[in-house]
């Protein structure tokens, strides 16, 4: 356990060292945010009753602001790193070291996310307090606690999903294109671009059965207060099921992938 804590600590320090990366990753999300702000402002400007797609202007802006932070916290690049290790043969060192590859990557991820959290939580707290002060958001200790819980499981699901995906490198040499494509699609169906219900009730029903729903849309709505107590616990239960499914899938995929590993260049 100590060795994984040490990996997390190193990863945390490294991330703090390269703060500009985090700044640019946050900054790159600001532009789509500005586009959406203008788009919604223009659309609501022509609305007679101030309600579009079952959202008031305040609600849609609240969702857009909160998902900006949530998706910044969820940024993941483990699949690119692992695929590089598989391709270049660097995975070999994990085979001889007394380390679990997944736990090692998870520890690195936790360390990086902890560093991101320090910055994002600081900015997010200021924004949330401001939103609460103008009456847009009803903040309570319980809502924040539930949000943090949902986020913690959401971040774990995100890691597991992309860790499973990274095994594609055992079969495909250059999988950067596949990763980018899946990353873009994942951001749409997780609700990072628009709330899922604006695409219609069918989309919402289907997405409830997918893990992506629980990564951005669910935690964001928990904080906004659009998720009842029953729905929250139901959501957590589905997340737990997905966690178990992904862990089992990871085991099968990696077991089969390792049979194809040739340690080229290692």
Partner 1 sequence: MNRFFAVFRKYWKLYGVFVRNSIMSQMEYRTNFFMSALVQLAHMLTKLTYVLVIYKVDQPINGITPDEMLIMIGTYSALSGVFVSFFLFNFDGLSGQIQRGSLDSNIVKPVSLQFISTLQHVDLAFATVSVLAGGIMIATGWYRAGIAVTPVKLLGFLLFTISGIFLTYSIFLIPNILCFWTIRSRGISDVVGKLWDFNNMPMTIYSGVIKLLGTFIIPVFLITNIGGLFVVDKLEPWLLVWSLVAPILFFALSCLLWKQGMKRYVSVSG
Burial class for 2, CB neighbours closer than 10 Å (0-12, 13-18, 19+): exposed
Say whether residue 42 binds partner 1 (CB under 8 A): yes
188 vs 245 by CB, closer to partner 1: 188
Mask 165-194, x = binds partner 1 (CB under 8 A)? --------xx-xxx-xxxxxx-xx----xx
Say whether residue 237 binds partner 1 (CB under 8 A): no
Say whether residue 204 binds partner 1 (CB under 8 A): no
Say whether residue 57 binds partner 1 (CB under 8 A): no
Q: Shortest distance, CB of residue 199 to partner 1, whole angstroms?
A: 6
Say whether residue 51 binds partner 1 (CB under 8 A): no
Q: Among 43-51, 138-146, 230-238, 256-264, which window interacts with partner 1 (CB under 8 A)?
A: 43-51
Say whether residue 206 binds partner 1 (CB under 8 A): no
Query: 103 and 4 in contact (C-beta within 8 Å)?
Result: yes
The two structure tokens encoding residue 96: 């001889």
Stated as kind and residue range, the H or E segment containing 51 is: strand 51-52
Q: How far apart are CA 70 and CA 154, in angstroms?
A: 10
Query: 177 and 237 in contact (C-beta within 8 Å)?
Result: no
Query: 236 and 149 in contact (C-beta within 8 Å)?
Result: yes
In the 8-state DSSP scheme, what is residue 260? T
Size of the site for partner 1 (CB under 8 A): 35
Mask 8-27, x = binds partner 1 (CB under 8 A)? ----------------x--x
Stated as kind and residue range, the H or E segment containing 55 is: strand 55-56
Q: What is the dihedral angle through the alpha carbons of 124, 129, 131, 132, rounded to the nearest 10 degrees?
A: 140
5 vs 184 by CB, closer to partner 1: 184
Query: 253 and 165 in contact (C-beta within 8 Å)?
Result: no
φ, ψ at 54 (rounded to 5°): 70, 15
Say whether residue 205 binds partner 1 (CB under 8 A): no
- Binds partner 1 by CB under 8 A, chosen from 99, 121, 198, 236: 198
Q: Which residue has the tokens 């194809």?
A: 260
Which residues on adjacent β-strands are paired with residue 56? Answer: 51
Q: How far apart are CA 70 and CA 216, in angstroms?
A: 6
Say whether residue 46 binds partner 1 (CB under 8 A): yes
49 vs 228 by CB, closer to partner 1: 49
Q: Shortest distance, CB of residue 8 to partner 1, whole angstroms?
A: 29
Say whether residue 95 binds partner 1 (CB under 8 A): no
130 vs 184 by CB, closer to partner 1: 184
The two structure tokens encoding residue 208: 């409830």
Which residues are near partner 1 by CB under 8 A? 24, 27-28, 31-32, 34-35, 38-39, 41-43, 45-47, 52-53, 173-174, 176-178, 180-185, 187-188, 193-194, 198-200
């Amino acid at each position: 356990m100590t060795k994984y804590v040490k990996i997390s600590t190193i990863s945390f320090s490294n991330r703090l060292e390269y703060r500009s990366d985090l700044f640019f990753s946050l900054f790159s999300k600001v532009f789509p945010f500005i586009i959406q702000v203008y788009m919604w402002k223009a659309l609501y400007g022509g609305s007679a009753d101030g309600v579009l797609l079952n959202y008031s202007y305040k609600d849609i802006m609240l969702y857009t602001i909160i998902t900006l932070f949530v998706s910044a916290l969820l940024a993941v690049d483990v699949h690119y790193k692992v695929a590089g290790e598989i391709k270049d043969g660097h995975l070999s060192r994990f085979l001889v070291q007394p380390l679990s590859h997944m736990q090692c990557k998870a520890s690195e991820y936790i360390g990086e996310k902890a560093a991101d959290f320090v910055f994002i939580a600081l900015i997010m707290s200021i924004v949330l307090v401001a939103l609460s002060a103008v009456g847009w958001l009803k903040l309570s200790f319980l809502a924040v606690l539930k949000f943090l819980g949902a986020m913690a499981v959401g971040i774990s699901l995100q890691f597991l999903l992309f860790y499973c995906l990274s095994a594609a490198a055992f079969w495909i040499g250059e999988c950067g294109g596949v990763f980018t494509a899946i990353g873009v699609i994942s951001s749409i169906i997780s609700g990072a671009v628009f709330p899922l219900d604006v695409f219609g009730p069918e989309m919402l029903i289907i997405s409830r059965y997918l893990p992506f729903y629980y990564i951005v849309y669910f935690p964001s709505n928990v904080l906004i207060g659009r998720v009842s107590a029953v729905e929250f616990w139901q959501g957590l239960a589905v997340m737990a099921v997905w966690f178990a499914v992904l862990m089992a899938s990871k085991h099968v995929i990696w077991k089969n992938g390792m049979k194809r590993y040739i340690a080229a260049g290692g």
